[in-house]
Amino acid sequence: LQEQERICRQIGNMQSLAICLGNQGAIQQYKKDFVQALALNREEETLYRQIGDLEGLGFALGNQALLIKQQGDLNKALQVLQESENIFQQVGNVKGLCNAWVNMGLIYGKLDNPQKALELMEKAHTSASQNGLAGLATQIEGILNRIRST
């Protein structure tokens, strides 16, 4: 991936560079190097903003929020997820929107706001179900069942 990054920078292919940085960030996250993962993700975010790829930006922000959450800043993670949510609403990406709601719900659960967590999960489940995202709806249903049983 680092060779791909070098080539993308050399030829000026910012779209592919953003994707490459996102992939490198995912690898760093897997290796639990959250600082490096976040640095790569922030560069990915900057590139998506520069080239105007809102959908890519929405996913990059979602990933960034998860990294921020792992570092313990739940309020900042919520802020980033809200931006991701707004982008997915704007571009009409239902799957991205559902993922944003699920992640926001999980954070609200950690912030001792079970009502808001449940509201967001139900919203995500309904949207996924109504838009033919059966696999996602099933995953969300599992999370909903755990929330309701607590």
Q: Residue 121: CB partners within 8 Å, gap ≥ 6?
A: 101, 102, 105, 140, 143, 144, 147
Residue 106: predicted pLDDT: 95
Instruction: Between 55 and 2, name the one with better pLDDT.
Output: 55
Where does the pLDDT of residue 45 fall: very low under 50, low under 70, confident under 90, or very high at 90 and above?
Answer: very high
Predicted pLDDT at 2: 85
Q: In this predicted structure, what is the pLDDT of residue 148?
A: 84
Q: Residue 75: which of 65, 64, 88 has the closest Cα?
A: 65
pLDDT digits (tens, 9 = 90+) for 62-105: 999 999 999 999 999 999 999 999 999 999 999 999 999 999 99
User: Taking 90 as the threshold, does the pLDDT of residue 150 lie above it?
Assistant: no
